[in-house]
Amino acid sequence: MGPAIFRLNSLAARLIAAAAIWTMFGLAVGGVVLSNAFRNAAESSFDTRLAADMDGLIAAAEPDADGGVMLQDRFINHQFDRVYSGLYYQIKPLTGGPGAQISRSLFDQVLNVTDNVKRGAISYGFAVGPENQHLRVLSRRVEFPISATPEPSDTRAYTFLVAGDLATVDADSAAFNGTLFWSFAVLGLGLVVAILLQVRVGLLPLRKLRDALARIRDGSAQSLEGKFPAEIAPLATELNSLIEHSNEVVGRARTHVSNLAHFLKTPLSVLASEAEAEPGPLADQVRRQVDTMRRQVDHYLARARAAGSVNVLGNRTPVAPVLSDLARVLTRIHAERDVAIDWDCPADLYFRGERQDLEEMTGNLMDNACKWASARVMVRALREGARFTLTVEDDGPGLTPENRSRVGTRGERLDESVPGTGLGLAIVRDISKLYAGSLALDASPLGGLEARLTLPAIQ
């Protein structure tokens, strides 16, 4: 699957990208929610501590006879005594006048509260403290009786204000956010790796299906083999049905081609016999036309049969046995001329096609070489990646470059003294083209003609 993962038009890339985007989005949203939740919890805890400090401050307050406030040393947090400690209080009468007090920690500063929000008896707000500290402020209204007046209902109201520096909350939040970020980064990386593994494992059946199709194409199998998941099993079944149907169609076509060949050759043989029995100009003309018709029938039937076999999946032919059989047969046929046929071919070389087509092409080339050879024919097969080259050489008279062009390209017959139809090279060229191959003619180091046939091989 390797590089396919990184191609944007691949199914794996789409699945991984979609899952990774949603995972990162979910982690980002979750991180923001957790960060805000921690910040709110830290502020709530901080407010609780400030409320406790305010309760201690109120508990330490004692009214005098005139309704003033005297603070006892009990219940008071000693941070109020250190200058700019980050914890401050401020007591201020609501009606103005004397009686206001501030903590030693404020020194000479006065707090101005903003964003005041009242919840129950306590108001919550913020203020800028000494050295630009960001303060959380809690304030509460407290009334003290005035015992110096005859009216027992006379009271004096004060605002008790306690403020604390939010730097500790900010530091805790920053530390938590840092831990949260790296934790989520590691988690996100782990999830992406898990997604990659999941996609790779999930797409294994598709790769298995691809390998099964490759085995059919190479000829090592005739149908899709193995068990597939429920989602892919119907596809494998349909592909097997399609392959079987294709083989049946090609088989019927071949039968029709064979029947046609038999049907045409029999009347042609009758015409040739009748022409031989009745000599004369008309008989000579009939023989020439019959010969032409036979050549054309052989030529186009070979093309039709090859065209049908090319489209059949699973064709796989070992080359060495074909060369061995042809060399043995042609040695017997040309035994009177004592032509030696040498051949060399790797045992593991396979032609991606049908044996009949390979025999047709190779047989024509080797037979042609034997007809013109003086004493020797050399056949070699060499693999070149996904193709192989079959070279047939002879030590005969050879051909000039012009004659090689006429024979190889136009299929002309240059010499009537040697038996044959003259269509052998043309048939070889036509069949090789059906397999995306090629045929080239050149001078042989043996002195005669060299024919190089290039065809697809199975790796």
Question: 322-340, pLDDT tens digit by residue?
Answer: 999 999 999 988 888 888 9
* Together in a domain, 300 and 324: no
Pairing outcome for strands 449-456 and 387-394: antiparallel
The domain spanning residue 411 has which CATH number? Answer: 3.30.565.10
Residue 425: is it exposed, middle or buried by C-beta count within 10 angstroms (0-12/13-18/19+)? buried
* Together in a domain, 239 and 332: no
* Together in a domain, 300 and 336: no
Q: Is 430 part of a structural domain of the chain? A: yes
Residue 283, both tokens: 């008989």
Q: Please name which of 421, 424, 417 lies closest in space to residue 291, comparing C-alpha atoms.
A: 421
Q: Is 194 part of a structural domain of the chain? A: no
* Together in a domain, 255 and 162: no
Q: Is 446 part of a structural domain of the chain? A: yes
Q: Is 452 part of a structural domain of the chain? A: yes
* Together in a domain, 402 and 292: no
Spatial separation of the C-alpha atoms in residues 57 and 76, rounded to whole Å: 6
Pairing outcome for strands 340-344 and 122-128: unpaired
Final residue of a domain: which of 269, 285, 313?
313
- Contacts of 279 by beta carbon, 8 Å cutoff, 6+ apart: none
With H, G, I as helix, E, B as strand and everything else as coil, classify residue 241: helix
Is residue 141 predicted with pLDDT exceeding 80? Answer: yes
Q: Which residue has the higher pLDDT, 173 or 107?
A: 173
* Torsion region of 72: left, alpha or beta (phi above 0 gives left; psi -120 to 50 gives alpha): beta
Spatial separation of the C-alpha atoms in residues 124 and 17, rounded to whole Å: 47
Question: Minimum mean pLDDT among 117-126, 345-354, 399-408, 437-446: which range?
Answer: 399-408
* Together in a domain, 387 and 290: no
Is residue 212 predicted with pLDDT exceeding 70? Answer: yes
Tens digit of each residue's pLDDT (9 = 90 or more) over 342-372: 999 998 898 888 888 888 889 989 998 998 8
Q: Is 76 part of a structural domain of the chain? A: yes
Final residue of a domain: which of 254, 280, 313?
313
Spatial separation of the C-alpha atoms in residues 430 and 425, rounded to whole Å: 9
Q: Which residue has the higher pLDDT, 53 or 304?
A: 53
* Residue 196: how many other CB atoms lie within 10 Å: 17
* Together in a domain, 326 and 445: yes
CA distances from 310 to 9, 250, 260, 433 (A): 31, 10, 20, 11
* Together in a domain, 308 and 233: yes
- The pLDDT of residue 389: 93
Mean pLDDT, the chain, rounded, equals: 81
Q: Please name which of 27, 142, 42, 156 lies closest in space to residue 89, comparing C-alpha atoms.
A: 142
Average pLDDT score over residue span 21-27: 91
- The pLDDT of residue 32: 94
Q: Is 22 part of a structural domain of the chain? A: no
Q: Where residue 148 falls among pLDDT bands split at 50, 70, 90?
A: low
Q: Please name which of 296, 300, 428 lies closest in space to residue 360, comparing C-alpha atoms.
A: 428
- The pLDDT of residue 179: 93
Is residue 95 predicted with pLDDT exceeding 80? Answer: no
- The pLDDT of residue 198: 85
Q: Is 183 part of a structural domain of the chain? A: no
pTM (2 d.p.): 0.53
Is residue 276 predicted with pLDDT exceeding 80? Answer: no
Average pLDDT score over residue span 430-455: 87
Q: Is 20 part of a structural domain of the chain? A: no
- The pLDDT of residue 416: 43
- The pLDDT of residue 306: 58
* Together in a domain, 286 and 405: no
Q: Is 252 within 8 Å of 235 (Cβ atoms)?
A: no
pLDDT above 70 as % of the chain:
83
Identify any residues that bridge with 91 across adjacent strands, giving them in sequence order: 101, 160
Q: Where residue 252 falls among pLDDT bands split at 50, 70, 90?
A: confident
Is residue 379 predicted with pLDDT exceeding 90? Answer: yes
Q: Where residue 410 falls among pLDDT bands split at 50, 70, 90?
A: very low
* Together in a domain, 95 and 153: yes
Q: Is 166 within 8 Å of 172 (Cβ atoms)?
A: no
* Together in a domain, 434 and 307: no
* Together in a domain, 85 and 112: yes
- The pLDDT of residue 301: 67
Residue 457 is classified by DSSP as B
Average pLDDT score over residue span 80-104: 83
Number of domains in the chain: 3
Final residue of a domain: which of 313, 348, 383?
313
Average pLDDT score over residue span 381-389: 89
Find the length of the chain: 459
Tens digit of each residue's pLDDT (9 = 90 or more) over 150-199: 666 677 888 899 999 999 999 999 999 999 999 999 999 999 899 888 88
Q: Where residue 412 falls among pLDDT bands split at 50, 70, 90?
A: very low
- The pLDDT of residue 415: 44
Q: Is 409 within 8 Å of 438 (Cβ atoms)?
A: no
Give the type of residue at 317. T
Tens digit of each residue's pLDDT (9 = 90 or more) over 32-75: 999 999 999 999 999 999 999 988 888 888 877 666 777 877 77
Range of the domain at 347: 317-456
Residue 394, both tokens: 């002879």
Q: Where residue 414 falls among pLDDT bands split at 50, 70, 90?
A: very low
